[in-house]
Structure 1
Amino acid sequence: MSNDLKLVVKLNRCPQNHPCPAIRVCPVDAMRQIGYGAPTVDMDKCIKCGKCIRFCPTRALVLE
């Protein structure tokens, strides 16, 4: 997997009206959410394992 890939939150797919279920599966605590806003990703922590991508019910998380 390329090192220059970033985990991106597609805002048009993310409902942003509930706690993000993908955050709790991140093994390195790289995702955060303030209130019910869109989750953010700390790419310095992210290991690009793909767990959050597989767990996101709306497919709003993608590696680009």
Structure 2
Amino acid sequence: MLPSSTALLMTQFYQNLFHSTDSTITIAKALQSAQLDLLHKYKAPFFWAPYVLVGNWL
């Protein structure tokens, strides 16, 4: 995994989670949105698919 794709995904994930205009966004939705954003930049699942949530998804 390229460090730059990980940094992009995590940056977008936390921006989605903490700076979203939607106050009801869940952790799962924030990750999904970040993965979709990365999908547009990197088509290969190698860059965006290996991330999973563990624990409370809400």
TM-score normalised by the shorter chain: which range applies? under 0.3
**Which structure shows the bigger proportion of residues in helix conformation?**
2
Give the structure with the higher percent strand.
1
What is the TM-score when the length of structure 2 is the normalising length?
0.27
**TM-score, structure 1 as length reference:** 0.26
